[in-house]
Amino acid sequence: MTFIDSLAAAWRQNNSLLCVGLDPDPAKFPAHLRGRDDAIFEFCAAIADATADLVCAFKPQIAYFAARRAEAQLEALIAHIHEKHPGIPVILDAKRGDIGSTAEQYAVEAFERFRADAVTINPYMGRDSVEPYLAYRDKGVILLCRTSNPGGSDLQFLDVGGEKLYERVARLVATEWNDNGQCALVVGATFPAEIARVRALVGDLPLLVPGIGAQGGDIEATVGAGKTGAGTGLMINSSRAILYAGKDEHFAAAARAAALETRDAINRFR
């Protein structure tokens, strides 16, 4: 099954547009996990097991693993999710971007080594830097468009011939890079008007929306601006607000409660 089909199935089956971001920071782990060699795997797997029926996707952020030499735990985590929760797609949040021959190596990293179903990619280097990922025809390729951070405006908001750079990226991806229907876009929840603008430009293309929760994005505005006619089309990501909802040995139950609350808050506005 392709990434896009898995995502659509998970939207339906779990009645959820929530994506849980797996950004493991051992300094925030409950005391009983700290110091264990496999703490990162154990923490993330427990979160995944506690929330898998409430989400449309999981999104591990590779930097949190790479900073701690924990690539093997990331491989084990994605394998665990595939085995225990088949049908829930895993997005590797890596934001790679390089020339074709190097992008081929990054595609091997994302899709063959880590076995992700989709990967986030930076569009700055243009179409041929994206093609090696698109060559994996069943995988998802999620391009940065309008990011949720303050500096996102430095380049993305520049006017390029009567539209903003992020709008050009949205149009390029939707009309030129998406031949095989495997693309999606990252659009931050901190800018609902721009989510609406992107939605108007790209039809039903899925949008990965970080920035609710710790980053302050508004759920009602995000859903209103980004949903498709079918009330889907969104992967609304929350990481810290779910991962660290609890601080003790009941952290997974606390994460489940936070995920349930967030999923239902999203659903109120679909």
Binding interface with a copy of itself (CB under 8 A): 23, 61, 63-64, 66-67, 69, 71, 95-103, 105-106, 108-109, 112-113, 122-130, 144, 147-156, 158-161, 165, 168-169, 172, 210, 215
Q: 98 or 218: whose CB is closer to a copy of itself?
A: 98
Q: 25 or 53: whose CB is closer to a copy of itself?
A: 25
CB contact at 8 A, 170 and 148 = no
Q: 128 or 264: whose CB is closer to a copy of itself?
A: 128
CB contact at 8 A, 25 and 266 = no
- Overall size of the chain counted in residues: 270
Q: Is 231 left (phi over 0), alpha (psi -120 to 50) or beta?
A: left
Q: What are phi and psi of 145, to 5 degrees?
A: -125, -75
Q: 50 or 245: whose CB is closer to a copy of itself?
A: 245
User: How many angstroms separate the CA atoms of 65 and 254, rounded?
Assistant: 23
**Residue 98 CB, nearest approach to a copy of itself (Å):** 5
**Residue 85 CB, nearest approach to a copy of itself (Å):** 24
**Residue 148 CB, nearest approach to a copy of itself (Å):** 7
CB contact at 8 A, 6 and 34 = no
- Give the residue numbers marked as catalytic: 95
Which among 193, 237, 249, 182 has a CA at the least distance from the CA of 211? 237
CB contact at 8 A, 133 and 183 = no
**Residue 144 CB, nearest approach to a copy of itself (Å):** 6
Residue carrying the six token digits 């239902």: 264
